[in-house]
Every structure is written in structure tokens, then in C-alpha cells.
Amino acid sequence: MIELAGVGKRYGRGPWVLRGVGLELAPTGLAVLLGVNGSGKSTLLKVLAGIVVPTEGTVSGRGTVGYVPERFPASLKLSARNYLQHQAAVRGTRETGIELLDRLGFIGDLDRPMAQLSKGNTQRVALVQALVARPELLVLDEPFAGLDERSRAELCALVHEAVRDGATAVVTDHTGSRSRLASTLTVTVTDGAVRPVEPGAGGTGAVALACPSGVRSEVESLPGVLQSTTDGPLLALDVLGTELDAVLAAALALGCSVHEVRRERATAAS
Ligand SMILES: Nc1ncnc2c1ncn2[C@@H]1O[C@H](COP(=O)(O)OP(=O)(O)OP(=O)(O)O)[C@@H](O)[C@H]1O
């Protein structure tokens, strides 16, 4: 069990980004974090991964960690092959995970400096270095960004395999790909507070809206909106299931039209 107790984080003398966070993550399972931009999701993931030390509170039980940051350092002079070989050597194994790169759709030169790789290929290398180590805790910050549809599906399969093999995975996502993940827990991050979406509370809903100009920020700040992103001409929202009808009614009253509505419930990981 990974447990956060009374966790707070502020950067320097800045405002509290997280405050009073208590969270328990089961030893095997997949948690999805939802929250609007700047709500503190990346900070929470860094605290979970041990990259950022909380200003107050404790984190216990995390074991070995695989972490994929939202932005992988792009200036690496090492080639993807040398980087993965180096990571394997640090772990004391010859298992580089290069075959996982194929599975994730890496097409290109493994021997070019990573700084010259596309965002998608850099993301694939970052994912492989985390997955191949078979960590007890897998922390993935926007792991689907930069990947094509096939690679996203393959990544979902790899995350499910890791969870099936006993890992705890924690994921954020703005691309909509998380709907394919069999999550066991959904957690919202709002104003520095972290709350699990209670089972039986109606789960979450995904909504795609076409909104007249000028009403977007009003729609995004409706009670129950957990996360928003632009999907072409549409505004894509993640909404607390219990507030879904009210958000739809308010959006319609503001002149938006509804393109898609999907209810999502936490399910047992398969
Ligand atoms: N290293 C840092 N130094 C100072 N402030 C920071 C630092 N990292 C994050 N913050 C601030 O903490 C707040 C939360 O940022 P964080 O990246 O955790 O949010 P987020 O929910 O992941 O946002 P996004 O979805 O935009 O990445 C923001 O106001 C951000 O500016």
C-alpha cells in the first residue's frame, strides 16, 4: 500500500500547490488523476515518485519507481540505444527494452542523439526506460502525448500488463486515451486538495461541446468540471458523474451544442 499522509507542497515561498493530501493506493491497481491545468497533478506525481520532496507530510510504501515526466529532457546527447543501455547497466541487467520500443511504434534511428528525435519517439524512449525496469510504482505524466492511435493502444496494453504483474500505476491524461484504461481508482486534484471519486458516486463523464466564443472559461468553471482540453473545434471536458446533467444543462443554456457524452466508471483492472 502506498500512502500519502498530510502531504503539502509549496515551491519556495510560493502558494501551496498541494495541502493536506491523504491518499491510499492499493498495491496492484491503476489510478487516474484528473484536474484542470495548474491544479497540481504533475506536482502530486513528482511527490509520489520521490522526485519532489513534500514541504510537509509523508509518503510511505512506494518501493521501486518508474517515472515518465510530462516533458522528457530534450537536450540529451546520448542516442536512444546508448541511453537504454546505460539505464540497464545502472539496474545491473542487459535488458534494455529495445523490443518494447518496436512495440510502441518507434520508427527511426536508434543511434541518433535523442535531441534529434521527434517528440513521439522521445516519449517512447521515456516510456520504455520506465516500463522495462518493472517498477512497483509506475508514474506516468501525460504518457499518451505525442503518440499515434496505434501506439496509444499498445501503451494501454503495456500498462495493463504491468498492473497485472503487480504494479501500481498512476496516470494523467489530456488526450482522452485514458478511457481505454481499466482504472481501479479515479482521483481529482482541485485547489490543492485530492479526492478519490467514490465508487457508486456515478464515476466520471466525458463531454465534447461546441461552444460560442467567449463562453469557454464560464463552461470550464462550472461545478463538477474536473479537466478540460481543446479537441480541434470542440471543448472536451471530464466531469464528475453526479454533476454531468447539471453541466450539460448549463452548457446548453450558454449556447453550446453537445457533440458527445460518455459515462465512465472505475472498473476492476484486467
Ligand atoms: N518548479 C516549480 N517552481 C515553482 N512553481 C511551480 C513549479 N512546478 C509547478 N509550479 C506551480 O505549481 C502549480 C501546479 O503545477 P503543476 O505542474 O503541478 O500542475 P498540473 O495540474 O500538472 O498542470 P498542467 O496540467 O498544466 O501540467 C502551478 O501554479 C505551477 O506554476
15 lines ligand 1 (CB under 6 A): no
Q: How many CB atoms lie within 10 A of CB 52?
A: 17
Q: What is the pLDDT of residue 108?
A: 86
DSSP 21-73: EEEEE-SSEEEEEE--TTSSHHHHHHHHHTSS--SEEEEE---SEEEE-SS--
How far apart (Å, rounded) are the C-alpha atoms in residues 142 and 219? 23
Between the CA of 88 and the centroid of ligand 1 the distance, in Å, is 31
What is the rounded distance in angstroms from the CA atom of residue 238 to the CA atom of residue 117? 32
Dihedral of the alpha carbons of 137, 141, 142, 146, in degrees to the nearest 10: -90
User: Which distant-in-sequence residues (6+ apart) come within 8 Å of 60 by Cβ?
Assistant: 2, 3, 5
What is the rounded radius of gyration, in angstroms, for the C-alpha atoms of the chain?
19
Residue 14 Rama label (left phi>0; alpha psi -120 to 50; beta): beta
Q: For residue range 110-122, what is the model confidence (pLDDT) as tens digits?
A: 999 998 899 899 9
> Contact 245/140 with Cβ under 8 angstroms?
no
All three cell numbers of 96, joined, read: 534494455
CA of 80 to the centre of ligand 1 (A): 28
pLDDT at 201: 67
Determine which residue's CA is closest to atom 12 belonging to ligand 1.
Answer: 17
pLDDT digits (tens, 9 = 90+) for 25-83: 988 999 999 988 888 999 999 999 999 999 999 999 999 999 999 988 766 788 999 99
Q: Is the beta carbon of 43 within 6 A of some atom in ligand 1?
A: yes
Query: How many Cα atoms occupy the beta-carbon half-sphere of 116 within 13 Å?
Result: 10
Q: Cell numbers for 245, please give them.
A: 446533467
Closest residue to atom 23 of ligand 1, CA basis: 38
Q: Is the CB of 35 under 6 A from ligand 1?
A: yes
The reply to whether ligand 1 has any atom less than 6 angstroms from the CB of 38 is yes
Task: Return the residue whose CA atom lies nearest to atom 6 of ligand 1.
Answer: 11
Question: What amino acid is encoded at 106 in this protein?
Answer: F
Contact status, residue 88 vs residue 94, Cβ threshold 8 Å: yes
pTM of structure: 0.88
**Residue of 7, 11, 68 with the most ligand 1 atoms within 8 Å of its CB, for mutation:** 11
Region at 199 (left for phi over 0; alpha for psi -120 to 50; beta for the rest): beta
Cα–ligand 1 centroid distance for 192 (angstroms): 11
Q: pLDDT of 81-134, one tens digit each?
A: 999 999 999 989 989 999 999 999 998 899 999 988 998 999 999 999 999 999
Taking residues 167-183, report their average pLDDT: 86
CB neighbours of 200 closer than 8 A, spacing ≥ 6? none
41 lines ligand 1 (CB under 6 A): yes
Q: Which of 9, 21, 37, 41 to mutate to test the pocket of ligand 1 (most atoms within 8 A of CB)?
A: 41
Interface confidence: ipTM more than 0.85: yes
